[in-house]
Each structure stands twice: as structure tokens, then as C-alpha cells.
Amino acid sequence: MGQPSTTTSQLQVPETLKPFGTLVARELLKLQKTGLHRRINEGEAVFTEGDPGDGLFVLESGTVVITTTIRPGHGRTLTRIHAGDYFGEMALLDEGLRSATATAEIDSVVSFVPKSQVMELIARAPIIAFEMMKEFSQRMRASNRQFVEEALSTERIGLLERFSFSFAHDLKNPLAGISMAAELLADETISRELRQTLSRQLVRQSRRVAMMTEEMLAISRGTKPAVNFQTVDLAHFIMRKVEEFQLDFQERRLEITLENLPPNLQVQIDPARIEQLLLNLLHNSADAMTGGGRAWFRFETGSSHVAIELEDSGPGISQERIEQVFTPFFTHGKVNGTGLGLSICRRVMESHGGTIRALFRQARGATFRMELPLGR
């Protein structure tokens, strides 16, 4: 609504209002000789978004809530105006249309002061303009604080949703393996050797689910998962895992090979977590190559570390995104990615005192380099 109708019966200004309220509101109330007062019923709009900013309103009694539209059908409360205060100054200051809607939260009485009279008041008493700008700044600060708090709350909810989706997505692969192995084990005609292979698969995939659950719980709590270090022959460990990975990714047509043989070294690692790290990298490769492709390992031994590189034949990672890939939920355009795999990989390497980084190589696929310390 614009200027209130003057046909409404004249209302007397409550005496209790005069001792309090802001300086601007008190001065505006002195202009009530115009008689532009109006009773506003609960739920009725004083003005709406898009109305002309033709003056200010002083709230004599009641409560008015100021809201704005974020998107169709969804509004946001900016502030509440209580008796003894004024509102509607933004459109007056920028000489634009109303950017919000003012609605009576309870039965209220408002007084309308036309723009011309406000300008006359400011001309007579410049301090009014100063006070108006100060109060406007305070309101904007309060509104900004509220917006930040709401945004943080929304972001927390969004992160929880994405975290839940990521966990469910990552569980699909081991659960599918468990389901398939269990169905085959129910077949009494299968050979003893196949039954043993399927039993090992069930145990392996069950351990993966348990480890993934522990990792996700640690991320959600902001803690580090327990690391079970063991002395492992790196060559034997890698050869056995590559053989298992080849079966895991057969249906996704990802060919996994070795560019050179892994070194015969004794290393201190948590085998289950290193396996999960390598699986996460391979799942990333498979996600980036939906039509199939290749991934290969290469190894390099230094004086204090052993390096493991994994490269694939996919589209690679652009140079400007190399530093972002380990950020939680960053998927760099993959259709099926969840954005937690590489974040977990970094946590695993840090728990081992090692490092992992993505390498940019022109016109080549994604390459990740892991360095594990020796002599731990």
C-alpha cells in the first residue's frame, strides 16, 4: 500500500509513546497534524514490495514485521518494528521502490509522514539525517548478522545432506560385492575353490564397510581414525592388491597394470587404509572414464621414502584445479563423484607421515603421487 487513507477516524497519539522511541521517531510524530493515521489489522500489509517510497511510517502501537522475497513462494524476515519506532526509510533514501513488505504482526496503529515533510524536517534539523543514517546502519548490521547465521545454518544442513549422499554412494560398491558373493555361496553346486574365494571376498568387503564407516564417523566428529601399523612387504602387498583390484573393476572396464615392479621393501603401514586410499583413486579414475580406460602404477625409491604414482588415461585435471581436488565435496565435474574420496586419501597419507598430491601433465590423464616414509 502507499499513503494511508485519511478517511479513517483521527487517532490520538498515546501519551506513553512520547517519552521513548528514537529521536527520529519522536520528531516524526510531531508532524501528526496531517492526521494520516491508520489502524492495521493483524496480517494486513502496510506496504508491499514494489510500492513507491513516498514517505515514512511511525508505529504508534503494535508490531510490524518486515519481509523480503528470496524466490517465488519463499520469504525471509528482515526485522521487526516495535511501537515508538519508524520504518520504510530505505526507499526514501535511495528514491526507489519498496524492496520489502511491511505486515502487521498484531493489530497495530501506524502514522504516515509524506516524503515532502520528512525533507522539510531534515532541512530544519540536519541532525535528523545523521540519526536516520546511524539507525539505518545499525539495522543493516543486525540484518547482515541474521543473514550470516541463516546462511551458516543452511550450509551445515547442505553439508550434512552431501555427506550422507557421499557415504551412501561409497558404500554401494562393497555392499554390491557382499550381495553377489552371498548369492553365489548359496549355490550348493559351486566348487570348493570358488567357495573359498567368495568367502575371502565377503570378509574383505565387510572389512571395507567397517573401515569406511569408521572413517566417515571420524570426519563427522573432526577426529582422526585409529591407525593399525604393521610391517608389510610392499612388493607382495601391491601385487596382491592389484590382482584384487583387477577383479573389482572388471565390470567397469578399467584395466589396471604396473608400469614397473614395486620395490622389495619392508614398510610400516596400515594395510586396510592404504588399500582404501588406492581404491578411492581407482574409483576416481573409473568415474572419469565411464566408457572404460587404463590405470597404471609406477614406483620410485628415494633415500628416505618410497613413491607410488597412479596415472590413468582419462581427461586429467586442469592446472587451475590441481590445488582444489583434495577439498571435501569438490568433484571437478565428475558425474558420479562425491568429493570425499580424495579428502580421505589425504587424511590416510597424513596419518602415515606421508604426502599425496595431484600432478599436472599436459595432454595426459590424472596423476597422483604418494610418498611414504621409510625407516618408520
pLDDT digits (tens, 9 = 90+) for 48-58: 888 888 888 88
Fold of 15-124: Jelly Rolls (2.60.120)
Measured between alpha carbons, how far is 25 from 14 in angstroms, rounded to an integer? Answer: 14
So where are the chain's domains? 15-124, 159-221, 230-373
Q: Which amino acid is it at 17?
A: L
Mean local confidence (pLDDT), 279-303: 90
Whether residue 228 is predicted with pLDDT greater than 70 in this model: the reply is yes
* Cα 288 from chain centre: 23
Calpha distance 22→4 (Å, rounded): 22
Which one of 32-46, 116-130, 222-236, 297-311 scores highest in mean pLDDT?
A: 297-311
Q: What is the pLDDT of residues 342-362, one digit of tens each?
A: 888 888 999 999 999 999 888
pLDDT category, 150, cuts 50, 70, 90?
low
The pair phi, psi for residue 334, each rounded to 5°, is -70, 140
Please report the pLDDT score of residue 352 as a whole number.
Answer: 92
Task: Give 237's pLDDT tier (boundaries 50, 70, 90).
Answer: very high
CA distance 91 to 88: 6
Q: Tell the CATH topology of 159-221.
A: Helix Hairpins (1.10.287)
Q: Return the pLDDT at 257.
A: 94
Identity at 56, one-letter amino acid code:
L
Scanning the structure block, which residue is given the C-alpha cell 526507499?
A: 91
Residue 281: all three cell numbers together:
583413486
C-alpha cell recorded at residue 176? 554390491
Of 293, 324, 332, which is closest to residue 310 (Cα–Cα)?
Answer: 293
pTM score of the predicted model: 0.52
Q: What is the pLDDT of residue 119?
A: 81
**Amino acid 19: pLDDT:** 41
Residue 142 per-residue DSSP state: H
User: How large a percentage of the chain has pLDDT more than 70?
Assistant: 74
Q: Which of 142-146, 171-175, 193-197 has the lowest mean pLDDT?
A: 142-146
Distances (CA, A) of 318 to 130, 218, 323: 53, 30, 10
Please tell me the least confidently modeled range out of 137-151, 191-205, 212-226: 137-151
**CATH architecture label of 230-373:** 2-Layer Sandwich (3.30)
User: How far is residue 296 CA from its own chain's centroid?
Assistant: 34
Region of residue 84 (phi > 0: left; psi between -120 and 50: alpha; otherwise: beta): left
Cα(47)–Cα(183) distance, integer angstroms: 67
Place of cell 609406477: 298
Cell triple for 302:
628415494
Q: Which three cell numbers stand for residue 172?
A: 554401494
Strand pairing class (63-71; 266-269): unpaired
Contact 258, 242 (CB under 8 A): yes
What is the rounded distance in angstroms from the CA atom of residue 4 to the CA atom of residue 112? 7
Q: Around Cβ 227, how many Cβ atoms within 10 Å?
A: 13
Q: Average pLDDT, whole number, for the chain?
A: 79
Beta bridge partners of 80: 65
Q: How many residues does the chain have?
A: 376
9: confidence class by pLDDT, cuts 50, 70, 90: very low
Number of helices (H), then strands (E), in the chain: 8, 15
State the CB neighbour count (10 A cutoff) for residue 68: 14
Who has greater pLDDT, 334 or 149? 149
Find the DSSP H helices in 55-125. Answer: 89-94, 115-124
Cell 558420479 sits on residue:
336
The predicted pLDDT at position 149 comes to 66
Tens of pLDDT, residue by residue over 59-74, are 889 999 988 877 676 6
